[in-house]
A and B are shown apart, each in its own frame.
Chain A
């Protein structure tokens, strides 16, 4: 008798529209429950919409058994449906048939998909497994010295020694970060003679390196830039830009940038596309050392870009992750940023000290908004704090303090400028050597783009099949798009690299 009741109810519940489907127990009368279960209590009753009550008997074995039956059917039928507000796909736990209501043996997370492996990390993983002594890792973008080793800058070591000797406390930073750091960061980007800097019509908050700074800015624009949801990225751009802006709630669009035929800037295409971007959209520009192509506009081209961007009244978001690291000259690398501001374009800017100070894992970065005046800057700052507080409360001190000491201590700053030029020069040297070695190998291709491009990365122009061969036959690892990290090239392996590239391209 009891089972008939269960089966009929099961049919009933399945025929209901998905909106009405109960997410828990069946609708049975309290009397029904009371008759079967000693654990019944008067409060185990809930009202259901449309009248009637719902029994919530915790220990009813009949409930458990019927649930098992229903769950099998429901799981099949509803596995793909989204049931809306009550809680989407009805997770169907399987209860064991015991008197005690045991926990569902299935997990809350059964439906969680495995995230796709990070393509760049995948390169490093494969590299690590390779036993070839000649192997080269040209994947991830961290600087290496000519021995292929990580390089801790001497000015960083000195700053760290100063910090250790002072035995400072570890009190929370303000939400906006270390003031000496943010001020020095703004000055580094804008230039000490910048009107915007001197007038104080800017706000700079400390961010978690480049990513964190980009994300704060993205969230800020999502909340306060109501004119558009669209962010225009260059084609191609750093792989993480898209998910960052998307997770912040914005939409992604693109403008032409890289010309694969020439391995250089498609300036005409870029100007054409940008001049058609709807007014008051957001456009992201790489300030220098474009990632992943290494292709930067020349100064005359930057001037034209500024003019068209101003004409279209676009909000400019500069991503500057390589100031100093690109050309070796911090002022030259910040030229575009400063030019745009001088043209009256109130940009927003994210900076990273991961590469130019080698502070990768310390997460030192900054986000800046150029405002109309200092009063507006204060308002903007207050809102940035509201965004940061529920993300991580306040930023980590160590990296920012190292960067601040370097920027604010004259001898250390001088030393840093020499060291960052040293890194840039080594990269430029490797580019030159790679091209000359390719010539020596007898390659008939034009490899000029390797020396035309700038910064850590080089878009070789190699096709996926050629990349595949480099990995399989020569143990030279790079991403499928043919991007190599020049930092992984040394005087010791540049010959091997040239030889391998020639083999797969001749």
Chain B
């Protein structure tokens, strides 16, 4: 029986997602010196994934609790998770929480939170179904930001200046200029801390300037907070920008991820925090977000949310968690200072203070694509074409090799 021509005969092969392809190539590499500085997941000094001790503890608690079942969560998620997740972002003494004008949507990771927020904004922001509202993402940004907003229906994704390659820091003036020129009501995706991929964050003073322009120009702040606690080691410090905007009276969204700071990558734990003018507005917003959730995943997965909620609601577990987070942040900070000092003592051309000025998991080394290719092909050190490295891939054992290799790349290749 001959099959008719397939309806999918014309489906083209899509390119693989770059960062996962990098890891796949790394896995196939047989060289014993290989180092994976690609994908953004925490690694111990042994180069191994790390399940937070507090997470193991809570998992065992959950596994041993015969009273728990697998019933559906409400559409918006586990109530104890939602309330506490938002509290972590906004702070215990948040005026918005006190005034009962916040809402939360448990989501599948930070990506899911961004998507629900984007779908809502496309439907209800700046009119109804206004797909022409410009959405601004930083240049550069996490590459999935573009796709999230495009797939949500926005037609006009633009970039705002962010990374200054020459001075290897924040291009504040460019950023502010872009905000001045942006059409009113444009949506701006802001990295709450530990900017991905540059690791370069505005200072509090710079955030104040950004907020002032956004307020005056009626620009909508959509925060992406994937590294709270993981960046500086302090939850409060890493949430400063979001809380400042709230205190300035903004209505905003904040997409939170617990993938990194709880190490719960594959459980897909995220939260979309909504801050509105008053409870009534927030209620209506949540009711519409419910409809969006219902046609996307109906209700969110319970395991990860349970772990986070259990941890956040127990003073002892919460303290343990903060400690675990600080352990991760401190190791990253150590790797930064160690890498920088090695490059400086090797006399590698250029300045390397950006390695320690930058914050979070990632560092924009400044290596150009040719140098990156050299690193991968000749030295079996895998990093993104942008020159982004994951500091977590560094260990006390491979620091010397990586530093020497960067030195070679910079001196041999221009």
Contacts and interface: CB of A to CB of B under 8 A. Distances in A.
B369 interface: no
A112 B49 CA distance: 44
Nearest to B49: A169
A406 B89 CA distance: 38
Nearest to B289: A115
22 contacts: A24-B184, A87-B127, A91-B126, A103-B248, A107-B276, A112-B124, A115-B291, A142-B71, A164-B63, A167-B51, A172-B41, A172-B265, A175-B17, A280-B7, A361-B301, A362-B302, A372-B9, A385-B17, A389-B144, A390-B150, A392-B268, A396-B266
Contacts of A362: 70, 301-303
Given A114-B283, A389-B17, A396-B301, A380 B11 contact: yes
Given A108-B125, A114-B287, A150-B69, A392 B109 contact: yes
Range of interface residues on B (Cβ < 8 Å): 35 or more
Contacts, number: 262
A225 B6 CA distance: 11
Contact of A386 (B14, B132, B297): B14
A304 interface: no
B277 A105 contact: yes
A363 B297 contact: yes
B296 interface: yes
Interface residues of A, number: 93
Interface string B247-280: 0111100000001000111111000000011100
B285 A112 contact: yes
A379 B9 CA distance: 9
B133 interface: yes
Query: Secondary structure of the B side of the interface?
Result: loop
Contact of A371 (B8, B60, B248, B281): B8
> Which secondary structure dominates where chain A touches chain B?
loop
A110 interface: yes
A393 B111 contact: yes
Given A167-B51, A376-B6, A396 B303 contact: yes
Q: Which of A113, A363, A379, A394: most chain B CB closer than 10 A? A: A363
Interface in A84-127: 85-89, 91, 101, 103, 105-115, 118, 121
A227 interface: yes
B268 A394 contact: yes
A88 B300 contact: no
A346 B267 contact: no
Given A167-B56, A346-B6, A391-B111, A172 B266 contact: yes
Interface in A274-292: 280
A-B pairs with lowest CB-CB distance, top 10:
A88-B127, A115-B287, A392-B108, A390-B147, A107-B277, A211-B298, A361-B302, A208-B297, A164-B63, A398-B303
Nearest to B13: A379
A23 to B, nearest CB: 6
A392 B112 contact: yes
B1 interface: yes
B220 A108 contact: yes
Contacts of B278: 107
Contact of A383 (B7, B11, B73, B283): B11
Nearest to A359: B70
A23 B133 CA distance: 13
